[in-house]
Chains A and B, each alone.
Chain A
Amino acid sequence: QKEVEQDPGPLSVPEGAIVSLNCTYSNSAFQYFMWYRQYSRKGPELLMYTYSSGNKEDGRFTAQVDKSSKYISLFIRDSQPSDSATYLCATRKINGQNFVFGPGTRLSVLP
């Protein structure tokens, strides 16, 4: 079983839609969770970072963590064409330094 899994997409939505991106992980030792946005041939850009179950909001982005289900989500409200990118979830163990990435979900927001 892969450590971190994501639906690779592509996911296409109309501009203004609410986007839901999901990620599951297998190891309960993972305690820190991140969402990154990656444009083509660019470095991952940190969007959200959280270490507790529940919701964290930042502008149009909301990260949701359910440690009991080993499930994390990223919601994007009022999606824009500029949100078109690959979204990577990543996680880290409490005593680890290695950030483990999911394969990413490719999102297209259509004008």
Chain B
Amino acid sequence: EPEVTQTPSHQVTQMGQEVILRCVPISNHLYFYWYRQILGQKVEFLVSFYNNEISEKSEIFDDQFSVERPDGSNFTLKIRSTKLEDSAMYFCASSATEAFFGQGTRLTVV
């Protein structure tokens, strides 16, 4: 069964460093997403991506964040100059109609 895959599963980084989280969406899906879940809190929308551009983004997705689809299969989230409060699970999802999620990358900023 097709699935969304994310790497790495866990990333530890120092405050102020840049991180890139990677995702391989389901191959025939056209919409891609990044969501965030701070421990014990709800799943929060960051950004959606369609036709090689951002289609929607939340207030959380500020200039510190960027997304890219560098080739036909990967979808990345870059966080520049990470802050302690960026520590969370980051989920990639893709959809045709309903969204399918990856297992997440746990980002720990120290």
Taking Cβ atoms with an 8 Å cutoff, the residues of A that contact B are 32, 34, 36, 41-46, 49, 88, 90, 96-104
Contact of A98 among B41, B48, B89, B100 (CB under 8 A): B48
By the criterion CB–CB under 8 Å, are B101 and A44 in contact? yes
Report the minimum CB–CB distance from B54 to chain A (whole Å). Answer: 10
Number of B interface residues at 8 Å Cβ cutoff, please give it. Answer: 28
How would you classify the secondary structure of chain B's contact residues: helix, strand, loop or mixed?
strand
Q: Are B104 and A42 in contact, CB atoms less than 8 angstroms apart?
A: yes
Q: Is the CB of A100 within 8 A of B45?
A: yes
Q: Which residue of B lies closest to A48 (CB)?
A: B98
Report B's interface with A, CB cutoff 8 A. Answer: 4, 6, 31, 33, 35, 41-45, 48, 50, 55-56, 58, 89, 91, 93, 95, 97-104, 106
Pairwise interchain contact A103-B98, C-beta atoms closer than 8 A? no
Nearest chain-A residue to B50 (Cβ)? A97
- Which A residues touch B102, using CB under 8 A? 43
Which residue in chain B gives the minimum CB-CB distance to A103?
B42
9 tightest A-B CB contacts, nearest first = A49-B98, A43-B101, A103-B42, A97-B48, A101-B43, A43-B103, A44-B101, A43-B104, A98-B45
Closest residue of B by beta carbon distance from A36: B101
- For A97, the chain B residues whose CB sits under 8 A away are 31, 33, 48, 50, 55-56, 95
Nearest chain A CB to B64 CB, angstrom units: 20
A49 to chain B, nearest CB (A): 4
Bound together, the chains give a CA A111 to CA B98 distance in angstroms of 33
Give the docked Cα–Cα distance between A90 and B33 (Å): 14
Q: Is the CB of A99 within 8 A of B33?
A: yes
Given A43-B91, A44-B91: A99 touches B106 (CB 8 Å cut-off): no
Are B99's CB and A102's CB within 8 A?
A: no
Q: Is the CB of B42 within 8 A of A102?
A: yes
In whole angstroms, how far apart are the Cα atoms of A45 and B33 in the complex?
15
Interfacial chain A residues near B55, Cβ < 8 Å: 97
Residue contact B99 to A99, C-beta cutoff 8 Å: yes
Task: Assess the A34–B98 pair: CB atoms within 8 A.
Answer: yes
> Can you list 28 residue pairs at the A/B interface with Cβ under 8 Å?
A32-B97, A32-B98, A34-B98, A36-B101, A41-B104, A43-B6, A43-B101, A43-B102, A43-B103, A44-B101, A45-B101, A46-B98, A46-B99, A49-B98, A88-B43, A96-B56, A97-B33, A97-B55, A97-B56, A98-B56, A98-B58, A99-B45, A99-B99, A100-B45, A101-B35, A101-B42, A101-B43, A102-B42
